Amino acid sequence: MTHTLPFAGQTQTSLLHVLMRSDTALPIDDIATKIGVTKTAARQHILNLQQGGYVQIVDPGIAQKKSRGRPTFTYEISREGRELFTRHYALFSEKMIMLVKDGLNEKQFKKKMQTLGKSLAEDLVHKIPKPKRGQSPDASTVRQLARILRDLGYDAHQDADNEITAHNCVFHKLAEKHDAVCEVDLTIMQKLTGKKPEHTECMVRDGNVCRFTF
């Protein structure tokens, strides 16, 4: 299930989700099939999103030619497109967290971010079964955790019984400057499941997604 973005309808929102979840740029045929519209309709939606800077063409200078001489372009979501999914956080989160960091060294700041994660988790514990001490979360718990993360603004899903993949990061710009910000997410997941996940792939550290394995 996708949450409709304020500026767009369900189809354009679905299109952006498709591009965000894809590891590679996609041609118009694949996009049209995935969102369930004609190629003409998909092309018009992409054009509208391109005009807003949310979708971009990949390598337009080396686009291959079809047999009829028409170029075959592929498309991917832009950085601005990714930020659409977290803009309601970005408006205020950076200044708030920077106020918290003021005067703290990195170790102290990391501890503050863990404290923030614990506080947020306390508001969410009623949505997930109480973790069993010393045991890794089962597949059902991981699935419920992915749903909670989606409610928090992440495009997250359960990739395997013990793994969650997020295709965006609500603190991406902050994490680029201060990786201790990732402790907020990690601590939330630890408090809700009883085990801190391993951050096996990170968008800030040249990853395509953020991947968490329990």
pLDDT value of position 171: 81
2 within domain boundaries: no
Same domain, 172 and 159: yes
Name which of 174, 213, 185 is nearest 197 in CA terms: 213
Per-residue pLDDT of the chain (214 residues; tens, 9 = 90+): 344 454 557 888 899 989 988 989 999 999 999 999 999 999 999 999 998 889 999 865 544 544 455 567 899 999 888 877 665 555 567 777 888 888 899 899 999 999 999 999 999 999 999 888 778 999 999 999 999 998 888 889 999 999 999 998 888 878 888 889 999 999 999 999 999 999 999 998 889 999 999 9
pLDDT value of position 172: 81
113 within domain boundaries: yes
Give yes or no for a contact between 90 and 173, defined as CB atoms under 8 angstroms apart.
yes
* CATH number of the domain where residue 56 is located: 1.10.10.10
Domain that residue 192 falls in? 87-213
4 within domain boundaries: no
Q: What span, in angstroms and rounded, lies between the C-alpha atoms of 3 and 11? A: 11
State pLDDT tens for residues 139-151. 999 999 999 998 8
Strands (E), 21-88: 26-27, 55-58, 64-65, 71-72, 74-77
pLDDT value of position 1: 39
Among residues 52, 83, 114, the one where a domain terminates is 83
Instruction: Give the count of domains, the chain.
Output: 2
Same domain, 106 and 61: no
Give yes or no for a contact between 13 and 3, defined as CB atoms under 8 angstroms apart.
yes
Same domain, 182 and 158: yes
